Structures are given as C-alpha cells and as structure tokens.
C-alpha cells in the first residue's frame, strides 16, 4: 500500500465539507459554536486514503487528535476495508 501525498485542501472544498456535515464533528457531534473544527481524511493518507471529497469529514480538533492515522470503523461498510 502506497501513501498518498498530502495536499493542501482548497478553501472551497473545506467550506463544502463543513456545510455538508452541518458544521458538526462527525465523531462526537460538537458544533463549530462549541469547538474548533478540522477537516479529516476518513481513510488516512498513510493507509492509502485519497484526497477525494468523499474521503473527507468534519472532526473537532480533539477527535482528530485521537484518531491520528487510524481508520474510522464507522465507515468500513461504505469503503469496504
């Protein structure tokens, strides 16, 4: 498995992902009024994930730090890994 190179996520894509996820952490449910939100790769780049919009989700800073380069088990049925 080869690692996908990290690219800067364009502002328009970041806005789209935040709007799609209703400005809410997809792990703990906190909103942008409660915490700082980040964009996360569902399947980490280090594990072969892509820089595709379907592989991006909104996470709060805390959940993103806890996830590190692990895959999110809640999305296995969608991605088949």
Read off the pLDDT of residues 34-47 as tens digits, 9 standing for 90 and up. 999 999 999 888 88
Integer Cα distance of 69 and 11 in angstroms: 23
Phi, psi of 78 (to 5 degrees): -85, -30
Parse the chain into domains and list their residue ranges: 11-74
- Helix ranges restricted to H, the chain: 11-20, 61-67, 76-79
Higher pLDDT, 27 or 73: 27
- 17-38 mean pLDDT: 96
* Residues 56 and 43 sit within 8 Å (Cβ to Cβ): no
The band of 5, judged by pLDDT with boundaries at 50, 70 and 90, is: confident
Integer Cα distance of 52 and 41 in angstroms: 9
**How much is the pTM?**
0.80
């Amino acid at each position: 498995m080869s690692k996908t190179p990290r690219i800067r996520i364009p502002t328009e894509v970041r806005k789209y992902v935040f709007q799609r996820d209703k400005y809410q952490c997809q792990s703990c449910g906190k909103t942008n009024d409660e915490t700082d939100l980040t964009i996360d790769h569902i399947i980490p780049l280090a594990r072969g994930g892509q820089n595709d919009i379907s592989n991006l989700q909104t996470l709060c800073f805390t959940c993103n730090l806890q996830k590190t380069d692990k895959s999110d088990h809640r999305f296995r049925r969608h991605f088949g890994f």
